[in-house]
Each structure stands twice: as structure tokens, then as C-alpha cells.
């Protein structure tokens, strides 16, 4: 084939590849395959031609875009699209998980009021005595300043991660294990808060504890959600075979659990380094520190409400989960 014929046959394709920036990895990969084929032909038949240099440049450009497509957007797309899409398309499970957890917290509070020894039974007498002693000293939340921050951070994160993993994995027991562990943790939270309400510190306790608790408890709700999706996918396969449904549930729930990792990490950081600043309660904390703590509290709530309940819902109205995952060759 003459060089002019070779150029005429492929000119439109090359100009199109050069002009368009494609986001679809498959289209970019196909362009790269076509270009390498053309480049190979040009090197064999027109080694010293300008068209060979041009194709080499163009192939390098497409190769670079493939690398960028596979590295940069993976992390970004997970948080911007994939994770909230999975959350949004399982919105009912998220709401059910949230409602159950809140009910368990309320149950723990009610039992703590009705039964004198319930708080000691749930929290442990030693922990209760330490807290009551801190209250008498005027530092009701000093438990959050009792250890060196880094050590506290590592201990809290590893413990919360282990608890979350148990909540998630136990969902394989048809969701019963997840339900049980969520019940146990919700009961503990309700009991813990009631302990402060009994000393007229309830609202301060809620504000201080929720500095980290907003993210920490949302992580727990998401872990519950992941466990329930895992169990329900096996119980209710719908139009899929039971094995196909379970694989889909495992993929979705696994990504939800992965999504809880930075939330759990940030919650542990706040609890170890920031919550301790409010160990005396807001009334006895300097104004500038109080403002900082309130900003952290408000920011946490805004993030949780917007990202998980508003943004995820908006995203599901634009694209179905099946379409998105199919484009990524994941189901």
C-alpha cells in the first residue's frame, strides 16, 4: 500500500482520536490497539516518514491517557460515583439499618432508667465508677483524655474496625449475626448516654460524644447495612439464581464495608485528638475551643446527611446501579 493511500484511509480515524478525550476505558483501549497496529505497519513500510513519527506521538498520548484512566479516577470514581450509587440503590436497607440502631439505642436508655443495675451490667462497674469519679472532679468526659493520643487512636481504630468486621461478616448467617451485634452495640450506646443524663449532663454528653460519634455510629450503621445486604442477597435472590444474587450481594456489601474504612479512621482520630478538648464539658471550655468543637460536630452531621441521604439519592436518579457496574465489567 502506498503511503498516501494509507494516510487517506486512516486520516479521519487518527484526527478523531487526537481531538476527542474519552472517559470510557474500553474505547481508549480500542483506540490504542488500532494505533499500535497502524504504527507497526508504518514502521515496516515507511520507517523514515513523518506519518510514523505522528503515529508514535499519538500512540504515546493514548497510552498516557490509559494510564491516567486506570490510576487517577479509580479512587475518585469510587467516592464520587460507585460507593454512593451502591448506597443509594440500597436506600431501604440503609433506612432499616438506621431505624433498627436508633430503636436499640432507645431500648438501652429505657432499660437503664427502669432497671437500677442495668448500666453496671452493660458498661461494667469499673467503667461506671471511673466515669462517676470524673463527674465529681468536674471533668465528666475525661475518659477521652486519659491516654496518650496516638496510643488511644490506634487502640480505638483497631477495636472499631474489628467490631465492624464482625458485624459485616456475621451477615453471612442470613443477617441474624449482624442483627444481634447491632442490637448489642445500640444497647451499649443508649446505656452510655443515659449514664450522663442521670447526672444532668445528657445534652452536653450528646454534644461531646457525637463529635466523633456522628462518624463512628454512621460507620456502624453502614456495617450493619453491609451485613444485611449480604444475608438478604441469599434469602431473596429475586430474578437471579441464589448464587448469582449472593455474588452480587457480596460485591455490593464488600464495597460498602471498604467505604466505612476512612469513616472509622477519621472517627478514631477525632475521638483521640479532638474530643479530649471537651473533657470538662462545653460550659467550662474556652469559647474558641467550644466554637472549634461545634464546627466539627456540625460538619460531621452535614457530611453524613448530605452524602449518604441526599447525594446518593440524587445520583441514583441519574444512573442505575446495573448500568454503572456493567460499564465497569463488574457484574
Residue boundaries of the structural domains of the chain: 3-74, 90-327
Of the chain, the percentage scoring pLDDT greater than 90 comes to 52
Q: Please report the pLDDT score of residue 42 as a whole number.
A: 82
pLDDT digits 0-9 by tens, 54-77? 888 888 877 776 655 454 466 778
pTM: 0.75
Cell, residue 147: 491516654
Q: Please report the pLDDT score of residue 288 as a whole number.
A: 92
pLDDT of 149 strictly over 50? yes
Residue (of 183, 194, 206) closest to 102 by Cα position: 183
Cell, residue 171: 451477615
- Residues 166 and 158 sit within 8 Å (Cβ to Cβ): no
Q: Please report the pLDDT score of residue 328 as a whole number.
A: 45
* Residue 198 exposure: Cα atoms within 13 Å on the Cβ side: 17
Q: Please report the pLDDT score of residue 24 as a whole number.
A: 64
- Residues 107 and 190 sit within 8 Å (Cβ to Cβ): yes
Q: Please report the pLDDT score of residue 106 as a whole number.
A: 97
Residues 6+ apart with CB under 8 A from 309: 94
Of the chain, the percentage scoring pLDDT greater than 70 comes to 91
Cell, residue 299: 460538619
Residues 6+ apart with CB under 8 A from 63: 32
pLDDT of 209 strictly over 80? yes
Q: Please report the pLDDT score of residue 330 as a whole number.
A: 44
Residue (of 158, 168, 315, 156) closest to 256 by Cα position: 168
Task: Taking residues 159-180, report their average pLDDT.
Answer: 93
Amino acid at each position: 500500500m502506498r503511503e498516501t493511500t494509507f494516510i487517506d484511509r486512516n486520516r479521519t480515524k487518527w484526527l478523531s482520536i487526537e481531538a476527542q478525550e474519552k472517559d470510557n476505558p474500553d474505547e481508549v483501549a480500542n483506540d490504542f490497539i488500532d494505533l499500535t497496529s497502524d504504527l507497526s505497519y508504518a514502521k515496516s513500510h515507511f520507517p523514515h516518514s513523518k506519518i510514523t513519527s505522528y503515529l508514535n506521538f499519538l500512540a504515546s498520548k493514548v497510552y498516557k491517557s490509559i494510564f491516567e484512566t486506570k490510576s487517577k479516577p479509580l479512587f475518585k470514581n469510587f467516592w464520587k460515583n460507585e460507593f454512593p450509587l451502591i448506597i443509594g440503590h440500597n436506600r431501604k436497607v440503609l433506612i432499616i439499618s438506621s431505624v433498627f440502631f436508633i430503636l436499640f439505642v432507645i431500648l438501652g436508655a429505657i432499660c437503664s432508667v427502669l432497671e437500677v443495675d442495668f448500666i453496671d451490667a452493660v458498661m461494667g462497674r469499673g467503667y461506671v465508677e471511673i466515669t462517676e469519679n470524673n463527674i465529681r472532679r468536674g471533668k465528666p468526659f475525661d475518659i477521652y483524655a486519659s491516654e496518650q493520643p496516638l496510643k488511644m487512636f490506634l487502640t480505638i481504630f483497631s477495636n472499631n474496625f474489628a467490631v465492624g468486621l464482625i458485624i459485616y461478616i456475621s451477615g453471612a448467617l442470613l443477617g441474624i449475626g449482624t442483627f444481634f451485634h447491632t442490637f448489642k452495640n445500640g444497647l451499649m450506646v443508649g446505656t452510655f448516654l443515659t449514664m450522663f443524663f442521670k447526672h444532668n449532663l445528657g445534652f452536653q454528653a450528646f454534644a461531646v460524644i457525637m463529635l466523633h460519634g456522628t462518624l463512628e455510629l454512621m460507620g456502624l450503621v453502614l456495617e450493619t447495612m453491609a451485613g444485611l445486604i449480604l444475608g438478604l442477597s441469599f434469602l431473596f435472590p429475586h430474578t437471579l439464581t441464589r448464587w448469582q444474587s449472593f455474588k452480587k450481594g457480596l460485591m455490593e456489601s464488600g464495597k460498602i464495608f471498604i467505604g466505612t474504612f476512612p469513616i472509622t479512621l477519621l472517627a478514631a482520630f477525632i475521638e483521640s485528638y479532638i474530643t479530649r478538648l471537651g473533657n470538662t464539658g462545653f460550659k467550662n471550655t474556652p469559647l474558641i475551643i467550644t466554637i472549634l468543637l461545634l464546627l466539627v460536630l456540625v460538619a460531621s452531621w452535614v457530611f453524613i446527611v448530605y452524602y449518604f441521604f441526599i447525594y446518593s439519592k440524587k445520583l441514583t436518579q441519574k444512573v442505575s446501579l446495573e448500568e454503572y457496574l456493567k460499564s465497569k465489567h463488574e457484574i
